[in-house]
Amino acid sequence: MSITSLLDADRTLFFIINQFFIGPTADGILIPIRNPWLWTPLYVILGSWLHRHIGKRGLITLLFIGFVVAVADQLSSHLIKPWIERPRPCQELFGHVRLLVPCGSGFSFTSSHAANHFAFAVLVGKLMRAHWPLISRLLWIWAALICYAQVYVGVHYPLDVLFGAILGSLIARLAYALTAHHFNPVVS
């Protein structure tokens, strides 16, 4: 498959998600799901749980999670996006996109939302799997919904979120593999 045909398939899938699988219920869920303030309770619960179960090491764990998410964000935003320079669909296909949020001025590939949320989901899922076995699956669903929402609202192509999710997941897995011995109280 050539790059051109891959990008054409990506645009086609974008239009299917952005213009055909739509409705007021989906709008009511997928527009706000992208808002980080909506997820503040999740972060508060995580912080409280870590503090209650592992005390001062919980703060270190939270800082570690924040660091890993920041690395994913910076690689996506400041290394990959300027290197690839792929316009967002709302910029490239202006007038043909059902744009539900502000377009954004940066490039599209890779999605930083996807990289950040998958870095968080994979790392937290690994750290907490012993205490909350379903957490990994729930966090993956949460991150995938946010990725889907990025396409739905018109600011990213499907490949942008797919590769952002892969980037965030790989960074989280690498960070966990390199430091897992420091987090035994969380995972045991």
Total structural domains in the chain? 1
**Domain span holding position 82:** 54-187
Residue 151, in any domain of the structure: yes
CA 4 to chain centre: 26
DSSP 66-90: HHHHHHHHHIIIIIIHHHH-PPPHH
- Token look-up 């645009």 returns 11
> Which pLDDT does position 183 carry in this prediction?
63
Residue among 89, 108, 92, 111 nearest 100 (CA): 89
In a domain, 9, yes or no: no
> What's the CA gap between 6 and 9, in Å, rounded?
5
- The answer to whether residue 12 is domain-embedded is no
In this prediction, residue 185 carries a pLDDT of 46
pLDDT in tens, the chain (188 residues): 788 888 999 999 999 999 988 889 999 999 999 887 888 887 788 778 777 776 677 778 888 889 999 999 999 999 999 999 999 999 988 788 999 999 988 899 999 999 999 999 999 888 887 777 788 889 999 999 999 999 999 999 999 999 999 999 999 999 999 887 776 545 44
pLDDT computed for residue 127 by the predictor: 83
Taking alpha carbons only, the member of 118, 124, 129 closest to residue 169 is: 118
Question: Which pLDDT score, from 0 to 100, does residue 1 have?
Answer: 75
Bond preceding residue 110 cis, omega within 30 of 0: yes
Angle between the N-to-C axes of helices 158-179 and 56-74, in degrees from 0 to 180, rounded to the nearest 10: 140
**Domain of 144: which CATH number?**
1.20.144.10
Which residue, chain included where needed, has tokens 């989280």? 172
Is position 29 within any domain? no
∠138-142-145 over CA atoms, to 5°? Answer: 135
Rounded Cα–Cα distance for residues 97 and 20 (Å): 12
Residue 98 lies in a domain: yes
Q: 38 lies in a domain?
A: no
What's the distance, CA 47 to chain centroid? 20
Query: Is residue 131 domain-resident?
Result: yes
What is each CA distance from 5 to 27, 35, 61, 136, in whole angstroms? Answer: 30, 33, 43, 34
The CA-atom distances, in angstroms, between 15 and each of 9, 21, 74, 84, 146 are 10, 9, 28, 22, 17
Q: Domain for residue 44, yes or no?
A: no
Q: Kindly report the length of the chain.
A: 188
13: amino acid identity, one letter: L
